Structure 1
Amino acid sequence: MRHFFSWLILGILGFTLVTACNHDASQNISSLPKQPTAECRMVKHTMGETCVPIHPQRVVTLSSCTLGNVLALGVKPVGTTNEVYYDENSLTSVKGATKGIKLVGISQPNLEAILQLKPDLIVGVDWYKPIYPLLSKIAPTVLGKIDFPNWEDHFSFVAEALGKQEAEKALVDRYYQRIEQLKLALGTRYQDKKISFIYIGSGRISIDAKNSFAGSILNDALLPRPASQNIDSPYGAIDVSLEELEKADGDILFVTTYSSGGKEFLAEKRQEPLWKSLKAVRENHVYYVDFMSWAATNMLGTDVVIDDLFKYLVNTP
């Protein structure tokens, strides 16, 4: 499978999708009759149109970006997939709101586990097109797109699927109000500064591009980026070698780690002369942030990123 990092930066599933259930479970689901929905409304999605419950009570989400948006809209799903090992700290952008939600797969949905939850609506992204016929046998299923930097489009899609358009509008308005508050608090302090954001995994360093989730928020806040990051990238980020580390430099450097070896790799690289030569390192303007928040690709993640920008750019001397 492709590297998990690419998904979180772009929101495009990089894994080779195969059903996580055993063969017998898939056959059993295939034989299920299509589930009738008494009161429903039509929702357009990437697989066509589906009649979804007017007031769904048992929602299953496929992908953490969908999960965060569902939670932001005030709905707690009964089950979800996730792209990393799931525990109460795996999605810190949701601030503990995942407690009690059943894990139904790491990247690949376990169809049998979903069936046991008896959902009345399944909401996800179109990475799961190959198993859509099986999912739609379990419950009405709608699959949307996720495309950076237009992460709001998926939020809007999820709101439509849940019938939560009023809540969606209120949250979008709140996001832009917070952006305006941040811009006002920043004033002209950073107009001549460069804000860098990099990701460090096991054995790799990547610099953020402006079409990533975090990049779109920095752009909305009118925070200037280094030339190397003020570009679009197919994966929302660009891998660099240690010798190219100057591309990561800026007046302010935000750093996050991902994968099990990311922290160890960062600790090793921080001892390198090239790391110590970075301007942000020399001037003590390096700030470590949470990966699952800065790559959340959902409305809940925006609050954490904006909170961090207030914390480090406004409230830090």
Structure 2
Amino acid sequence: MRIFFGWLILGILGFTLVTACNHHTSQTISSSPKLPATECHIIKHTMGETCVPINPQRVVTLSSSTLGNALALGIKPIGTTNEIHQENKSLTSVKDKTEEIKLIGLSQPNLEAALLLKPDLIIGVDWFQSIYPQLSKIAPTVLGELNYPTWEKHLSFVAEALGKQATEKALWNRYYQRMEELKLALGNRYQDKKISFIYIWNDQISTDAKNSFVGSILSDALLQRPASQNIDAPYGAVEISLEELEKADGDILFVATYARDGGNQFFEKIQRNLLWKNLKAVQENHVYFVDFTAWAATHMLGTDAVIDDLYKYLVNTP
């Protein structure tokens, strides 16, 4: 069975992108107007080449990663999908940035809702190839690759589509500045410590590999991982059974639960298990609970949230 978490970021897959409703909607969507070459620039993407507005004003994003990157680049979309949206929570892990952004779907967009927004640009990921013809009739649409272990490439793709390459460079400069400050604050306190990170959803547990979103941040901070997580893995995660819980252990254990699929209830069961109680991090009271939507972000806004947590629990916690 493939790793859940890796492609929870791929839209909590298991959805069918082309539904009968979408098929019906596509029949009523007229083709988006073509822009003069002087008002657009060519973007290469998974579906070919598209001329997109030089200064788009009404952007729709498809995926939480695309949304977060657009916001980080200073563009507030008018609408978005968000596959990790949770009821009564902000659309992203970063608060106060998503007001007035219309949620047009979770794993897949509602095409009628997208059409009503009258976007001048749709930016998304290549999970939506099967409905690209319908999307491109609503507005110029570009779909970029989002491979969980190489999440940085999607930021560059969104920046190119929005003409925000200079802003992207500034974002990376700020990220590396924060990382240097974090390493200085950490000192050598954790040079011999192993930092573990697990996701819990429904009745499954996944450990985060080093070639993941969080794995890349921990690596940049020069923090060490347990041997079972110090590997590259498909989708950046490794699913483990309850009997393999020792693979989740470390000197420090970060835990994120996905409440929408029963993660909290399953975690309560795990905590009653003797294998959990025998973990070193548990016995030494070094288990820290972090926000799933932040640590699963795969976008630049999420890096700030993860770094903030590393300060909170590794620098400021005795």
- Answer whether contact 1:6 1:14 (CA < 8 A) is retained: no
- Within the alignment, does 1:269 sit opposite 2:270 as a pair? yes
- Answer whether contact 2:82 2:91 (CA < 8 A) is retained: no
Q: Distance in 2 between matches of 1:92 and 1:187?
A: 31
Aligned-partner residue type, residue 51 of structure 1: C
Further displaced range: 241-250 or 84-93: 84-93
- Answer whether contact 2:199 2:206 (CA < 8 A) is retained: yes
**What residue is the counterpart of 1:199 in the other structure?**
199
Number of residues paired by the alignment?
313
SS in 2 for 1:149: helix
Further displaced range: 63-72 or 41-50: 41-50
Deviation of 1:222 (Å) = 1.0
**What residue is the counterpart of 1:130 in the other structure?**
130
Q: Distance in 1 between matches of 2:271 and 2:179?
A: 32
Q: Distance in 2 between matches of 1:249 and 1:175?
A: 28
- Rate the CA distance shift 1:254–1:86 in 2: closer, same or farther, 3 A: closer
Deviation of 1:116 (Å) = 0.6
**What residue is the counterpart of 1:310 in the other structure?**
311
- Answer whether contact 1:199 1:205 (CA < 8 A) is retained: yes
Computed over aligned residues only, the root mean square deviation of the Cα atoms, in angstroms, reads: 1.8
- Answer whether contact 1:198 1:255 (CA < 8 A) is retained: yes
**What residue is the counterpart of 2:292 in the other structure?**
291
SS in 2 for 1:143: strand
Aligned-partner residue type, residue 193 of structure 2: K
SS in 2 for 1:94: coil
Q: Distance in 2 between matches of 1:87 and 1:124?
A: 22
Gaps of 5+ in 2: none
Deviation of 1:15 (Å) = 3.4
Aligned-partner residue type, residue 288 of structure 2: Y
- Answer whether contact 1:90 1:292 (CA < 8 A) is retained: no
Aligned-partner residue type, residue 15 of structure 1: G
Aligned-partner residue type, residue 67 of structure 2: L
- Rate the CA distance shift 1:188–1:3 in 2: closer, same or farther, 3 A: closer
Deviation of 1:267 (Å) = 1.5
Q: Distance in 2 between matches of 1:166 and 1:182?
A: 24
Deviation of 1:37 (Å) = 1.7
Deviation of 1:304 (Å) = 0.2
- Rate the CA distance shift 1:44–1:119 in 2: closer, same or farther, 3 A: same
- Rate the CA distance shift 1:12–1:265 in 2: closer, same or farther, 3 A: closer
Q: Distance in 1 between matches of 2:246 and 2:86?
A: 35
- Rate the CA distance shift 1:141–1:94 in 2: closer, same or farther, 3 A: same
Where in structure 2 are the equivalents of 1:1-317 lying within 5 Å?
5-8=5-8, 11=10, 14-20=13-19, 21-29=21-29, 32-38=30-36, 39-85=39-85, 87=87, 89-258=89-258, 259-317=260-318
- Answer whether contact 2:147 2:235 (CA < 8 A) is retained: no
Q: Distance in 1 between matches of 2:129 and 2:22?
A: 18
Gaps of 5+ in 1: none
Q: Deviations over 1:15-46 (max 9, x none)?
A: 344235343312112xx234222411111111
SS in 2 for 1:122: strand
- Answer whether contact 2:8 2:84 (CA < 8 A) is retained: no
Deviation of 1:274 (Å) = 1.1
Further displaced range: 266-275 or 220-229: 266-275
Q: Distance in 1 between matches of 2:195 and 2:150?
A: 21
- Answer whether contact 1:89 1:96 (CA < 8 A) is retained: no
Q: Distance in 1 between matches of 2:16 and 2:219?
A: 33
- Rate the CA distance shift 1:314–1:98 in 2: closer, same or farther, 3 A: same
Aligned-partner residue type, residue 50 of structure 1: T
Q: Distance in 1 between matches of 2:150 and 2:34?
A: 34
Q: Deviations over 1:47-98 (max 9, x none)?
A: 1111111110000000000000001111111110111445451544221312
Q: Distance in 2 between matches of 1:91 and 1:256?
A: 17
Further displaced range: 247-256 or 103-112: 103-112
